[in-house]
Structure formats: C-alpha cells, structure tokens
Amino acid sequence: VTDNPELLDGYREKLVRRKQEWARDGRLIDVGAAPRSNEDRLPPGQRLVESWPVLDLGVQPEIPTDKWIFTIDGLVENPINWTWDDFLAQPQVTVTSDIHCVTGWSRYDNAWTGIHAAHLLELCRPEKEAMHCLIYASDGYTTNIRLDRFADSDVLLAHSWNGDYLTKEHGGPVRAIVPKWYFWKSAKWIRRIEFIAEDETGFWEDRGYHNDGDPWKEQRYG
C-alpha cells in the first residue's frame, strides 16, 4: 500500500522482469529451492572459499540490541525510527545468495534472514525525487546504492545468517545484504538509511572503488 502508485508500479515492473530473468537462467533465491548450477556461478577473477573472511576498518562496534536504533530519513514521506523489537515485528524473509568480495573471494549459499528492502520502501514511501540511498554504519562507514537496485527483491536488512543471529564481526545486530554487488555495498552495523536525490559516494567509493560494483562486469575500481 502506497500513496505513490507510480513508484510501486516501477518496483512491480522490475520485480516481474527480474523473475523472468531468474526463470530464464534457472536461478531461485528462496531457501529450500534447488541451488543454482555451479556453472557460470563464479564471476570473473573470483575464487571460491568455504570460510567467511572478516573485513572491516579496524573497528567492530559493540551494539547491544536494546540500544540499537534504526533510522530512515531524507526524501521519504514517512520517516522511520525503529527499535530492535520494532524491526523484528516486521515481516521476516529468508533469501539465499552468494557473496562476491572485491578482494577476490566468493562464498556460495548464504541464507540471510531479515526484512526485505522492498518492504521498507513500501513503509517509508520515498518521494519522487529520491534516486539514491546512502547507508550509514556505526563504525563511520558509508556506502551508496541506487534506489532501483536497492528495491531488488534479493536486498535485505539482515539480522541472521544460516539460521543464527549475525555475530558482531559480521555486522550484527543488522547489516545490509546487496547480493548483486561486490560485498562492500553490504554495510555492516547499519544505523541509518538516507534517501537522496543526487548521488553521494560512500567510504570505498570515495577511495577508488567503482560507484556500482557489479561482479559480473568486474566493476572493482575506478
């Protein structure tokens, strides 16, 4: 339900198109679905790992869930301020996806549980001018994402990985998961998402990383 039918139509159209794409290449995102064939699954220049490396800026903020506050603001009709309980009261989904880190490792079949970005968009109702999201994390990290990509049905704000709450090192209580980009777009320890009209670069985008980060196009740097 939204006051902005055009926007919703846009999302629906994209969702439908994406589902057709998935159907075409046999990819299924939901847990319990058959894993995608491993052929053509590893993007160029990546190597598969079984472990889950930890990458951060040298700070892993300790955020007790009773202190966790999540804010949506900027160009939205309905700003959001959620406690942990508010967050858990939202409809929960589990989506399985692969991680591709720009440093060259990939990890298959990560089952993320949390809330759909699309659900968040329905609630906060971005204004027409809103074209980008800037995600803020509690360690000072930021990253930017185009609104149309943020609306992808595999994008989540996740609190759990493979059935357990995310550990602090991997971004708990809540991190973003944006599977179609290199993993630097999947901000850990998220605290705020701002909707903006003009694109603004984030931490790594300011430091030479690509503005998008599609692993299939090797949009690593520049």
Contact set with ligand MTE (CB under 6 A): 52-57, 101, 137, 139, 141, 170-171, 183-184, 186-189
Residue 201 burial class via C-beta count within 10 angstroms: exposed 0-12, middle 13-18, buried 19 and up: middle
What is the C-alpha to C-alpha distance for residues 88 and 90, in angstroms, rounded to an integer? 5
CB of 101 to ligand MTE, least distance (A): 4
Q: Is 209 in the site for Mo ion (CB under 5 A)?
A: no
CB of 172 to ligand MTE, least distance (A): 10
- Asked if 153 and 18 count as a contact pair (C-beta separation under 8 A), the reply is yes
Nearer to ligand MTE, 75 or 186 (CB): 186
Angle, CA of 174, 119 and 167, to the nearest 5°: 15
CB of 92 to ligand MTE, least distance (A): 20
Nearer to ligand MTE, 75 or 178 (CB): 178
Which of 84, 112, 184, 195 binds Mo ion (CB under 5 A)? It is 184
CB of 3 to ligand MTE, least distance (A): 32
What is the C-alpha to C-alpha distance for residues 43 and 24, in angstroms, rounded to an integer? 18
SS3 156: strand
Q: For the sheet containing 142-146, what is the strand order?
A: 80-83, 69-74, 190-196, 132-137, 142-146
Q: Which does 125 bind (CB under 5 to 8 A by kind): ligand MTE, Mo ion, none?
A: none
What is the C-alpha to C-alpha distance for residues 148 and 137, in angstroms, rounded to an integer? 21
CB of 144 to Mo ion, least distance (A): 15
Nearer to Mo ion, 7 or 102 (CB): 102
Tell me which residues touch Mo ion (CB under 5 A).
55, 101-102, 184
